[in-house]
Amino acid sequence: MNLKTKFDLLADKLEKATLGSNYKAHKIIPRELLKLINKDALILDLGVGTGLSSRLFIDKKFSVVGMDFSKELLKVVSKYNYEQLIKQDLNKKLKVKKNNFDLVISFGVFDFFEDLNHIFNEVKRVLNINGYFAFTVIKSQKPSDSSQTYKHTKKEVRALVKKYNYKIVNELEFLEYEKKDYMAIYYGFILKKNCN
């Protein structure tokens, strides 16, 4: 079963399962971002899923555009007040304007991408100068789950930061998921797009 089909089938159960595993990124990183962005910031949530990652921003009346490759997940998240929802394969050119967003977020999504070059390049294209890019990557998980997931080291992320001319504003490390038989530790990064 491919990843898109898997998420389409799990769409209506995903939020409950995620919250049941003590998911934390949707609280930790947005709190840090609220200290950095203006109230009129336009936000893009890549891999919006159930909307947990951008829920705090929606609740605080920010304009948020959500993107996901799963039609079923977009149906689930449509009950929230998104500016726009876009069906989008993140491996393709993003269907949004250049230099349009003040913040791009993507939590728990890069685990499904072996190579992040395209995403880093596309985010750079759609971010305003001095815009922020916040995301998570898996550091470790127990038991190890190699089924369609990828880990990205700090060294790898830092190389992408340099290659695409971002500046690291904040690095976090936290327990992302925790259940009786499963645990995952993540890195969280907040980057700023440099003006040159």
> Which of 74, 157, 144, 145 lies closest to 116 in space, CA to CA?
157
Question: Is pLDDT at 84 greater than 70 in this prediction?
Answer: yes
Q: Which sequence spans correspond to the domains of the chain? A: 98-184
Least confident of 59-63, 134-138, 177-181, 187-191: 177-181
Closest by Cα among 72, 66, 61, 36 to 51: 66
Q: Detail the DSSP E strand segments found in the chain.
A: 42-46, 63-68, 84-87, 101-106, 127-142, 166-179, 182-193
What residues have CB less than 8 Å from 161, skipping those under 6 apart?
167, 168, 189, 191
pLDDT at 72: 86
Query: Which fold would CATH assign to domain 98-184?
Result: Rossmann fold (3.40.50)
What pTM did the predictor assign? 0.86
**Greatest CA span in the chain, whole angstroms?**
47
Return d(Cα 162, Cα 39) in angstroms, integer: 29
Lowest-confidence region among 95-104, 105-114, 121-130, 161-170: 105-114
Tell me how far apart the alpha carbons of residues 130 and 113 are, in angstroms, rounded to a whole number: 25
Residue 15 has pLDDT above 60, yes or no: no
Torsion of CA 191, 143, 53, 189, to 10 degrees: -10
Least confident of 85-89, 118-122, 147-151: 147-151
Rounded to an integer, what is the distance from CA 62 to the centroid of its chain?
17
Q: What is the pLDDT of residues 38-67, one digit of tens each?
A: 999 999 999 998 888 898 999 999 999 999
